[in-house]
Structure 1
Amino acid sequence: MSFMLPSASPSARSVVGVADDLLAALRGESALLPRADSVVLVVIDGLGAISLRAHAGHARALTAGMAKKDVAQSVFPSTTAAALTSIVTGVWPGEHGLVGYRVLDPIRDVLVNQLSGWETDGIDPYTWQAAPTIFERAGGVGHESFAVGFAGYAHSGFTKATLRGAEFVAATTAASRIEAAYALAQSHPGSLVYCYLPEVDKAGHKYGIASSEWVAALEDVDAALSARVPPGVGVVVTSDHGMVDVAPNRQIVLEADHLEGVRHVGGEPRMLHAYLEPDADGVSLVSRWRADLEGVADVVTREEAVRAGLFGPTVSEAASPRIGDVLAIARGSWAVYDGTAADQRGRGMVGQHGALTPEERQVPVVRLGAFAR
Structure 2
Amino acid sequence: MFIDTIEEIKKKSKINGLITPIYNGLNISNIGSFILENYEIQNNFEKLSVIQSLEIPKKKKVVLLLIDALGFNLLNFVRNKVLLESFEEMINNGLYTVITSTFPSTTATALPSIYTLSTPGIHGALGYRFYAKEFGNLINPLFQKLSVNKNCPIKFDESWFIPIKTIFEILNDYRIQNYSIVRSDYLSSTFDKAVYRGTKEIGYLTLSDLYNKILELLTLDTVFINAYWWSIDALSHHYSPFSQTVISEIKFIDYFLKMLLEKIDNDTLLIITADHGQIDTSKGKVIKLRDEPGSSNILLPASDVRAPYIYTNGKLKKEFFEKFENIVALTKEEAFNLGLFGETINFDERVGDYVIIFKDNSCIEFISEESEVSLLGKHGNLTEDEMLVPLILYYK
Compute the TM-score of the two structures, normalised by the length of structure 2. Answer: 0.84
Partner of 2:373: 347
Deviation at 1:70, TM superposition (A): 1.3
2: CA distance between counterparts of 1:40 and 1:243?
A: 24
Residues 23-32 or 163-172, more deviating? 23-32
Map residues 179-328 of structure 1 onto 2, 5 A cutoff. 179-184=212-217, 186-227=218-259, 228-231=262-265, 232-257=267-292, 259-277=295-313, 280-282=314-316, 284=317, 286-289=318-321, 291-294=322-325, 296-316=326-346, 319-328=347-356
Q: Is the 8 A contact 1:3 1:299 kept in 2?
A: no
Deviation at 1:354, TM superposition (A): 0.5
Q: Does 1:20 align with 2:33?
A: yes
What per-residue deviation string (whole Å, max 9, x for no partner) do you get for residues 49-92 of structure 1?
Answer: 11101111353312433268512111111111111111111001
Amino acid aligned to 1:130: P
2: CA distance between counterparts of 1:197 and 1:246?
A: 23
Q: Does 1:47 align with 2:47?
A: no
Consecutive unaligned residues of structure 1, counting only runs of 5 or more, are: none
Deviation at 1:335, TM superposition (A): 1.5
2: CA distance between counterparts of 1:9 and 1:97?
A: 18
Partner of 1:175: 208
What per-residue deviation string (whole Å, max 9, x for no partner) do you get for residues 77-121 of structure 1?
Answer: 111111111111100101000111111012332000122226923
Between the aligned residues of both structures, percent identity stands at: 24
Q: Is the 8 A contact 2:23 2:342 kept in 1?
A: no
Residue 274 of structure 1: SS of its match in structure 2?
Answer: strand
Partner of 1:337: 365
What per-residue deviation string (whole Å, max 9, x for no partner) do you get for residues 272-308 of structure 1?
Answer: 011223xx314x2x2111x1222x1221111110111
What per-residue deviation string (whole Å, max 9, x for no partner) do you get for residues 241-297 of structure 1?
Answer: 0010102452222225453222211111110011223xx314x2x2111x1222x12
Amino acid aligned to 2:278: M
Q: Is the 8 A contact 1:46 1:239 kept in 2?
A: yes
2: CA distance between counterparts of 1:342 and 1:36?
A: 46
Deviation at 1:170, TM superposition (A): 1.2
2: CA distance between counterparts of 1:315 and 1:288?
A: 27
1: CA distance between counterparts of 2:232 and 2:88?
A: 16
Q: Does 1:157 align with 2:157?
A: no
Q: Is the 8 A contact 2:64 2:227 kept in 1?
A: yes
Q: Is the 8 A contact 2:271 2:391 kept in 1?
A: yes
Deviation at 1:336, TM superposition (A): 1.7
Partner of 2:392: 366
Residue 193 of structure 1: SS of its match in structure 2?
Answer: strand
2: CA distance between counterparts of 1:8 and 1:325?
A: 21
Partner of 2:84: 59
Q: Does 1:123 align with 2:170?
A: no
Q: Is the 8 A contact 1:175 1:223 kept in 2?
A: no
Going from structure 1 to structure 2, the CA distance change for 1:124 and 1:329 (only over 3 Å counts) comes to farther
Consecutive unaligned residues of structure 2, counting only runs of 5 or more, are: 1-13, 43-50, 146-151
Residue 299 of structure 2: SS of its match in structure 1?
Answer: strand
Residues 210-219 or 250-259, more deviating? 250-259
Partner of 2:176: 143
CA RMSD of aligned residues (A): 2.3
Amino acid aligned to 2:110: A
Residues 199-208 or 211-220, more deviating? 211-220
2: CA distance between counterparts of 1:303 and 1:206?
A: 35
Partner of 2:112: 85
Residue 175 of structure 1: SS of its match in structure 2?
Answer: helix
Going from structure 1 to structure 2, the CA distance change for 1:256 and 1:10 (only over 3 Å counts) comes to closer
Amino acid aligned to 1:99: L
Amino acid aligned to 1:259: S
Partner of 2:121: 94
Residues 352-361 or 215-224, more deviating? 215-224
2: CA distance between counterparts of 1:299 and 1:13?
A: 26
Going from structure 1 to structure 2, the CA distance change for 1:288 and 1:51 (only over 3 Å counts) comes to same
1: CA distance between counterparts of 2:208 and 2:35?
A: 22
Residues 88-97 or 344-353, more deviating? 344-353
Residue 226 of structure 1: SS of its match in structure 2?
Answer: helix
